[in-house]
Structure 1
Amino acid sequence: MTTDNTAPVSAGQILSTAREARGLTLQQVALQLNLKPEQVAKLEQDQLEGTLETFARGYVRAYGRLLKLPEAELMAAFGSTTGCQQSSPKPMRTFSNRTAKQATENRFMWLTYAIVALLLVLLFVWWLQTNKQLPPSDAVSLPAAGPAVTTAAELVPEQIQPTPEQITELLEQLTPEPEQTAAAEDIIPIAEADQLEMRFSENCWVDVTDADGNRVAYGTKQAGYIMQLSGKAPFVVTLGNPSVVSITFNQQAVDMSALAAGRVAKFTIPESE
């Protein structure tokens, strides 16, 4: 009978063999575990002295999960290699876990800031709306005006019938003098302003000035717009496209057939003879 003296396979050998079988490098594994490549190499070589020894069990378990190895078999090999009894698994707080937790806390913090900012904005808008809805302070004293009117009416004295002499004197004061009547007849009536109406079937630029040089219209007018102007004739009119505009002067249609369509036109209304 022969005795099998084959040494048990260590956890590091299991990890190294599985990594090579999957075609992974030390650098790739180190990146996944948030470790240095040297630390991964020490795990595969079962060199657990120093700082690595404190977290060795957790690193080996995480390495095994990355390579999809049976955890019980791997941790049994780890215990036989190091002489440490396997304890109940505890959650391993790796650098990736800390990073994920910190990211979650940061997102929660920013969400809190956003909610506070939104509440402040809503409070400010509510304050503005409240101030707009408040009535002016002067309106508070208006109801007091009612009794004052009644009091004034009560204080009116009884009417006294005027004497015939007083009536005659009053009529003489109201009768206008002949000179005043003649002066009233000499007053020249004020001339009415000329009226100009423009109707736009399409958008068109327009510039209108009256005889005094006052600009009474300027800018682009929209289709369907009806523009009423008044001023002193003649009017100097400039149109960007006269074919889309119809004009009446003092309720008389203006003939614009001689103006070229689609070209800027400048003309006078009414035309000088």
Structure 2
Amino acid sequence: MAGKETKASDRGVDRQAAPGSLLRDERLRRDLTIDQVAQRLHLNRATIDSLEQNDFDALPPMTFVRGYVRAYSQLLELDADAVVASLSDAGAKADSEPLYGWVGGASAPPPGKPSRLREAKMLVAIAVTLVIVIAAVGGGAWWFTQQSESAPALAEPEVDERTKEPTEEPVNEPTESQDPEPQVPEQRTDSPEPTEAVPSSALASDSELAGTAAAAAASDADEEVIPSDAPVVTQPEPQATREPRADDASLALVFTGESWMEISDANGDRLLFGLQSEGEEQLWGQPPFEVVVGDVNSVVVEFEGESVDLDAYARGNVARFTLGES
């Protein structure tokens, strides 16, 4: 009995048959539904249905279709290379334009639209933040200006009243000097008293003026410090999408699940970094590429249209390797 049980990959693949028919027949033989396959591959039902019907016009660019077919074939234990090779015989057209990230669905989005929408959202967020910061700085400056203007206004009446007191006493004394001569010595003996009172009141008023001036200077200093501390918030500028050059090499990635990814090119530019969810990515850069894959079971990698065997580099579920070395 053991000799009769063989995998689908051992039975071979009819290259003349359409890839969608091969996948559908093997799925039915295994009693799997389209929903079950879509759930395991992290794709929607419409994408699986289009693959089985060979409806390539309803699918994303061919680079991603090859990734879908390869993942589907591996799920059914078919010869993935043979099924992918049959795509060209089934009338699938090669990619003629640069590819953009796209999650499997009914139709592909127009090139450039995702990045423009992302840039527009970023610009709106920056504009709103700047308006809030400017309003906060302006409101704080206005409030401190009002406080600094009201403080000297409250202190001025006290200064005026006290400065008037020494001026009234000397005014009355010259009227006494017009009295008869016998009273002149008395005026001379009394005159030192107002002269001594004048400096004391003047000193008091000067100290109070100095205090109010110091308070006004302190409020002005606070007023100057506030604007310098206010514009601390800085917003990151949106990064421009890198356009492919003639001497660039391409990497196509299909994610059937979550996986950590890190890819850098020969110039040291980091093309991809972080935890990636199901979907696709198309990258360009100067080879060779340094690649780190966190989960080889959830990623399909193609370099210059050729599939990369991640199992050859895997240590557990993690793979580290270099692509495009001369």
Q: TM bucket by the smaller chain? A: 0.3 to 0.5
Higher relative contact order (CA 8 A, sep 6+): 2
- Structure number with greater Rg is 1
Scaled by the length of structure 2, the TM-score of the pair is: 0.31
